[in-house]
Structure 1
Amino acid sequence: MSESTTNQPWLDDAKQDIGQWSASMPKDADEQPIDWQWIASLDLRHGIGVAAQQHIDLLSALCTASAGNVTSESSSTSQPSARPSAQQLHDLLKDDLAIRDRLEPVIAQCNSTFMTDFDRLIASYRLPRALAYANRRLCDEIAMLRQIGVAMGLWTITEERRERVTVPVLQSGSSAAAGGVVLDDIQDCTSDIVNARAARRAAEKRQKHASDRSVSRANLGGVTSPGGSTLFDYGSGSTGSANGTQENAVDQKQTSRLSEYRKSDWRDAYLPGRDVDNVMGIDIETTGTDPARVYIIDVGFEYMNMISPRPADAPAGYQYEQGYYEAGDAYGQSRLAFGVPAENAALGNPLIRDLTGIDVRTRSVAEAASSFRLFDEWPAAQIGLLQRLEQQPYVAHNARFEHSFFMLNVAGYAESYRAGKITIIDTLPMSRRWDEGSIPDDEHPYGNNTLDAYAKRQGALDESKSERHLGLEDTHIMLVAMKHHLGVLRAEGRGPWGVDGKFGIGGKHCGRRR
């Protein structure tokens, strides 16, 4: 583990909050009792993985295994640079997976516990941030152990999509050394855990809806109300049509799609209001999708006024990576690049490299000449970003993604959000609710609401070009699309200016705005 990782005293300080959390959160996201004494025993600063605890140098072990150097099967952990034996590798991986499977449901439960702590018994979110910090390094250790096994010929790895989650699956290798290695107990169980959790929550939701409908039917007010009570109507009724002839001519499948698509849902809370003006657009690039497992490697943001003129004193002529982008009304552009731990860099990330052009192999913070720093180890970067996020609404496309990463990476963000100091606007529900070009079809049965599609429909991106997948460039086309879209909606009296539109700046925030 890098020197920078060990110089993080806040990770130890975070354990001081265990008393607050244990009083409010007895169970994890899978309804299992939390052993808070075990949480307190974890070495969050130096590493919670077994290899880290035993001071095994996995980088050297991977190098040795990749070079084909054979060490004795009795290699001990007192020789940290030696390649572990097949059984040692199996045991390390098994123990690390067990730690992760035990820790991640705790992290997953923290958000709802913190946000529903209306008595403010939990003052800080630093403990979940610390657990996520340690879990990221644990995931790197797990990935290193798997790759060492590949290099030793013990197994091969394939990626499989299992409902909501893609997981690595180990298959027996070709090496004779693989003969005695059991793989069943070192397979990744993430899909089983996540899918079971989702199924349980869906069942609970259905049960609640059924209960609410029963209450609605029992409501005496419904006896005298035309059509009965609709207090808990979740959209099960028919949408109807004034023109029956035309409706009968529409394909029934498409009618059903549109009916479902146009229902109001939780995303509507992120829609802008009719008075929204100065906003900060932001987009992040990461090494994956789970904020408790992966790293932020690129942040891009800029500002734009939706109503008032661009500040006269703001510098003009900013040059984006894409030369055909014009700054227009945007100002205050900023691009921040971050690194990854040495273990993460050693493994590479072809998917992210092909998508963004960022090769994490060149961003190891352990390199002496490296100019990169880890975002989750850089307090000044976190403070600076938080201050900007608090000053005006911030806008993102599929903003829950950015929000989830900020919760587990930015010191003070969760506390500020809960206090109502942060407002979030999302252009994805703008596309879904107010852009007719997004409606579902056979090619896009759930609607076409990617940033690429939305920006093209709003004239912010040429049809011959594609979304760049870099923070600043994607932020720019998002804000250009948003401003154009709001202009059209204002002229047509739709969206925020329609009968169901919001007054004020809109967006999602907590608490009272003063």
Structure 2
Amino acid sequence: MTDSAWLETAKDDIAQWAMVMTKDADDNPIDWRWVRSLDLFGGLGHTAGDNPAPQAIHDALKADYAVRDRLEPIIAQCSTAFMTDFDRIIASYRLPRALAYVNRRLNDTINTLLDAGERRHLWKVSRERLGRGMAAVLKPYSSATADPNQGTLDAEAEGANGFAGTVDIALDDIQDRSAAILNARAERRRAKREQSHAGRVDMARANLSGATAPGGSVTLFSNDSSSSGAAAHKPKSDWRDAYLPGRDVDMVMGIDIETTGTDPARDYIIDVGFEFMNMVSPRPTDVPNSYAYEQGYYDAGDAYGQSRLDFGVPPANAALGNELIRKLTGIDVRDRSSKAGHRLFDEWPEAQTGLLARLTQQPYVAHNATFEHSWFMLNVAGYAEAYRAGRITIIDTLPMSRQWDPGSVPNDEHPYGDNTLDAYAKRQGALDSAHNERHLGLEDTHIMLVAMKHHLATLKAQGQGPWGPGGRSGVGGKSCGRKW
């Protein structure tokens, strides 16, 4: 089987998914026959050809948006369907990985078309945050254009062969709907939560305690969380607390990834860094004593088993560049094209297998670990299956900062306290105040683990955190039933 043959064989799982998942993340019925018809091996993008006519660029972009708007809600629902498939009808997660694989390339094609239209002066593209999501907003290239929903090409000035005068291009039917889709989805989920909460309140009012205390108590029926003093700064427990470490945590693997964006179904992993550290027991004596990080002021200390993995992007993605990521990480994707020999993570089975083997050997730690988890689900073969089977435990240092670090004080910019890795590492003495988080996988992993170890030692001495009233025994962390 070739490296890409799995994309088509993943369709063999459609029958299983169709039994469990009948609707997508937006409550739309899924046409699994349409999913089966997709050319996962050849790709989904509609290219406009060489020196395309303006309308050809428009039509290709419109067609690609339609496919992406239909495909992404299916991908978005797969994790919930897979994890709540308690009868284990769905055996494998390779179909969502295949759909995400082809969607990334489709997204590259969309961005290439957007760039082509802008270079031809059909429109201007601005990436804007609209509510919960980002969208590529198209506007007329010329500010003199009266209609904001129409782009105009001066064919003669732009050298458009076969065209004279001006060519009008409609913009209203090729606007990016990504943000609108996410906002509508969030609103539906909010309404469902409120409805569920109202139902629980009504049920509580109807029980015996509600009858003996007419109107109910503040605790049961009110959102009033007012308090005074230091307790006012302590955040409420929430779902993130499941990722907190326990009293017996020791050997862990820290990991951090750098990506070309924030969406695992659209973007690529380009840098992975991981290392190991024991929170209690001594550092192994049979491992090298030192490691040279990019920053000379980093001391390996108790860390060992350091590894840095670099990955590439498809040629279309490299050709577009990514200035934001270059400024943030120093990685220029224009130098990471697969044509130049850089392997893509989602096309490198051996890299995925090796990473999965390490992730299952002991708990892994990340800062805002749901980010890494979501990327591994759609990129690492076997990860979703191992996670559901209880073979993976995840610890997150972000809720450690939020719940257990008194220096994380809410302010206008950070209503839940400054829980960025940079701030947490500095408060815990893992990063000098004169320096900042590097935004590279291995370097960020190192300061995270150093901060975690220092923080746990302080909490143990104070009888707080895992050793406090709400602490847990064992290694803690989030897993599907497995206890270490």
Matches within 5 A, 1:154-303: 154-174=122-142, 175-177=153-155, 179-223=167-211, 233=220, 236-238=223-225, 240=227, 258=232, 262-303=235-276
Deviation at 1:191, TM superposition (A): 0.6
Q: Aligned residue for 2:147?
A: none
What amino acid is aligned across from residue 43 of structure 1 in structure 2?
D
Shift of 1:413: 0.1
Give the secondary structure class of the aligned counterpart of 2:271: strand
What is the alpha-carbon distance in structure 2 between the residues aligned to residue 285 and residue 240 of structure 1?
40
Post-superposition shift, 1:226?
12
Shift of residue 228 of structure 1?
5.8
- Please show how residues 331-342 of structure 1 align to structure 2 within 5 Å: 331-342=304-315
Distance 2:398 2:74 in 1: 30
5 Å-filtered alignment, 1:64-83, equals: 80=49, 82-83=50-51
Residues 110-156 of structure 1: per-residue CA shift (max 9 Å, x gap): 01000000010000000000000000000000000111111111111
Q: What RMSD in Å do the two structures reach over aligned CA positions?
A: 2.0
1:508 aligns with 2:478: yes
Distance apart, 1:179 and its partner CA: 3.9
Write the mapping of 1:363-512 to structure 2, written as runs, cut at 5 A. 363-367=336-340, 370=341, 372-512=342-482
Which secondary structure state, in structure 2, belongs to the residue aligned with residue 324 of structure 1?
Answer: coil
Determine the C-alpha separation between the residues in 2 that align with 1:128 and 1:16: 12
CA gap of 1:225–1:416, structure 2 versus 1, over 3 A, is farther
Cα pair 1:275 1:505 within 8 Å, conserved: yes
**Which of 36, 41, 44 lines up with 2:37 in the alignment?**
41
Q: Is the 8 A contact 2:260 2:268 kept in 1?
A: yes
CA deviations 1:4-23 (Å, max 9, x no partner) are: 9x850000110000000011
Contact 2:275 2:445 in 1 (8 A): yes
Cα distance in 1 between the residues matched to 2:413 and 2:24? 39
Residue number among 78, 98, 102 corresponding to 2:70 in the alignment: 102
- The one-letter amino acid paired with 1:13 is T
| Larger displacement relative to structure 2 (42-51 or 292-301) | 42-51
Contact 2:3 2:347 in 1 (8 A): no
Mapped to 1, the partners of 2:294 and 2:215 lie a distance apart of 58
- Displacement of 1:238: 4.3
Q: C-alpha offsets along residues 173-206 of structure 1, whole Å, 9 cap, x if unaligned?
A: 2441474100111110001000000011011101
Seen in structure 2, the aligned counterparts of structure 1 residues 337 and 88 have a Cα distance that, compared at 3 Å, is same
Provide the rounded CA distance (Å) in 2 between the counterparts of 1:472 and 1:127: 30
- The question of whether the paired residues in 2 share the 8 Å contact of 1:282 and 1:299 is answered with yes
2:149 matched residue in structure 1:
none
| Deviation of 1:225 (Å) | 8.3
AA matched with 1:17: D
The AA in structure 1 aligned to 2:169 is: V
**CA distance in structure 1 between the partners assigned to 2:141 and 2:11 by the alignment:** 42
In structure 1, how many angstroms separate the alpha carbons of the residues matched to 2:314 and 2:388? 31
SS class of match (1:499): coil
Please tell me the residue identity of whatever aligns with 2:198: A
| In structure 1, distance between residues paired with 2:477 and 2:221 | 23
Q: Normalising by structure 1, what TM-score?
A: 0.87
What is the identity, as a one-letter code, of the residue corresponding to 1:149?
Answer: G
Identity of aligned residues (%): 66
**Preserved CA contact (<8 Å) 1:421 1:513:** no
Matched residue of 1:159: which SS?
strand
